[in-house]
Amino acid sequence: MTQAFALLRILARADPPRGVTALARAADVNPSTAFNILRTLVFENAVTFDERTKTYALSRGLLEICGGMAARSLEQEMVGDLQRIADRTTCLVGLWQSTNGRMQLVERAVAKSPVRLDMQIHQKLPAFAGAVGRAWAAAQGLSDEKLRDGFDEIRWDGPLDGERYIAEVQMAREAGYAIDEGALHPGIVTVAAVIVDSDGTVTHGLTASDIAHRLDRERLKELGKDLRELAIRFSGFPSDNSE
């Protein structure tokens, strides 16, 4: 199944259609295995085969399988994943949409702990603010000057200076996730990663927040990796979101 999905992902990005050798190489699948998988996909009308050019392409038959997905929003798609992270930790887990230079909370999952954090849906943050702002800035590839300007626009309630902020954006660029340790909201630690579309534009942010003393360094790393992997899973798709 993993190899079949790898081939389908390559086919989704293949323009023009490709032959079995090129597809196998791109998907890192043995050519004979790729041939057998593609033959099955053709039989199931998920993929078409052009006898003349000996190339494969996605078939509209996939719409029969995926058609119901079109009406589902990203919030609906991700709510189960958000809740699983919240249930496994004591964190408030949020999904933010990037729009008009701000991040807006569009979905969240609350931990089952008796003492827990919560936020109101539709709450907004300036683009550069908090952990999600660092992750957003890291994905933009902005210059230090622009990062410093963005930092100066934010009201930070905890100790943080521009140089430290720039360094933390760079760390987020390397790690794939960012951390705010009480700089935006004292006593609250947040980890964040971002989702990008097929053009590399940030469309959404993911955050996990908790009371500071509950999250040691190891748990922060684990949360960061979890959010990074979840963001990767939902990244790379076309988007009609407008900034």
pTM passes above 0.85: no
- Give which of 74, 26, 15, 21 is closest to 7, Cα–Cα: 26
At residue 17, the pLDDT reads 83
- Asked whether the predicted pLDDT for residue 60 surpasses 90, the reply is no
**Mean pLDDT value across the chain:** 88
In whole angstroms, give the CA distance from residue 61 to residue 153. 50
Which residues does 68 contact at the CB level (< 8 Å), separation at least 6? none
pLDDT band at 67 (very low <50, low <70, confident <90, very high): low
User: Is the pLDDT score of 169 beyond 50?
Assistant: yes
* Domains identified in the chain and CATH numbers: 2-67 (1.10.10.10), 74-233 (3.30.450.40)
Mean pLDDT computed over 77-88: 90
Looking up tokens 């994905």 gives 139
SS3 32: helix
How far is 205 from 57, CA to CA, in rounded Å? 32
Q: Is 173 exposed, middle or buried (0-12, 13-18, 19+ CB in 10 A)?
A: middle
Q: What b/e readout covers 87-114, taking b as 16+ CB neighbours within 10 angstroms?
A: eebbbbbbbbbbbeeebbbbbbbbbeee
Q: Cα(220)–Cα(168) distance, rounded to whole angstroms?
A: 14
- Per-residue pLDDT, averaged over 216-228, amounts to 91
Per-residue confidence at 242, pLDDT binned at 50, 70, 90?
A: very low
The answer to whether residue 71 scores a pLDDT higher than 80 is no
Cα 199 → chain centroid? 13
Residues 6+ apart with CB under 8 A from 210: 89, 90, 91, 92, 111, 117, 188, 189
Helix (H, G, I), strand (E, B) or coil at 147: helix
Does the pLDDT of residue 226 top 90, yes or no? Answer: yes
Q: Average pLDDT, stretch 140-168?
A: 94
Which tokens belong to 224?
A: 């960061």
pLDDT, residue 243, reads 42
The length of the chain in residues reads 243
